[in-house]
Amino acid sequence: MQVLVSAASKHGATTEIAAEIGAALIALGLDAVVRAPEEVASLDGFDAVVIGSAVYVGRWLEPARRLVEEQQATLRTRPVWLFSSGPIGTPPKPLEDPTDAARMVELTGAREHRIFPGEVDRRRLGFAERAIMAAVRAPEGDFRPWPEIEAWARSIASSLAPAGSAVPG
């Protein structure tokens, strides 16, 4: 089974989540391909799709939204999972879903939408982003829950496994 994993990322942290999901799916016996949304011209050949986006100002990034909007008819014919990355801190904030998450689920018919905490590395941020982070006193650090991300990939693999077969590991 061929699975596309695609995620829009501004500074690379969400791309790393997509890569982890892809690697976990491969380890579980699926043929996963990780591509940036801008590199996806067609969903031909993909049996299932995982799409994610970093969240800025409460919204998905444009490349991920565009992929969903342009491919919505095809996405509705395949199993789809969505994820957002963005809350930071302990506990992660903000707690609300991205403002466009419900629309992305509706357009794709996604089986699930998950929110994973993200990462903030001030060295990767531009001047305006650093100023905003300082103004709101946002914490710096890597808050991504790698075991939770791997467990989610395992649940995706389990739901794609043929009836009666087990996911390895």
Predicted local distance difference test score (pLDDT) of residue 129: 67
Pick the more confident residue, 24 or 127. Answer: 24
Predicted local distance difference test score (pLDDT) of residue 46: 98
DSSP-derived secondary structure letter, 111: S
Residue 151 scores a pLDDT above 70: yes
Lowest mean pLDDT: which of 79-88, 102-111, 128-137, 139-148?
128-137
Give the amino acid at 51: I
- Residues sharing a CB contact under 8 Å with residue 138, sequence separation 6 or more, in sequence order: 88, 89, 120, 132
The chain-wide mean pLDDT, for the chain, equals 88
- Indicate the pTM of the whole model: 0.88
DSSP-derived secondary structure letter, 88: B
Neighbours of 152 (CB within 10 A): 21
Mean pLDDT value of segment 101-118 = 95
Mean pLDDT value of segment 149-157 = 97
* CA 150 to each of CA 5, 26, 32, 35, 165: distance values in angstroms, whole numbers, following the listed order: 14, 12, 14, 18, 20
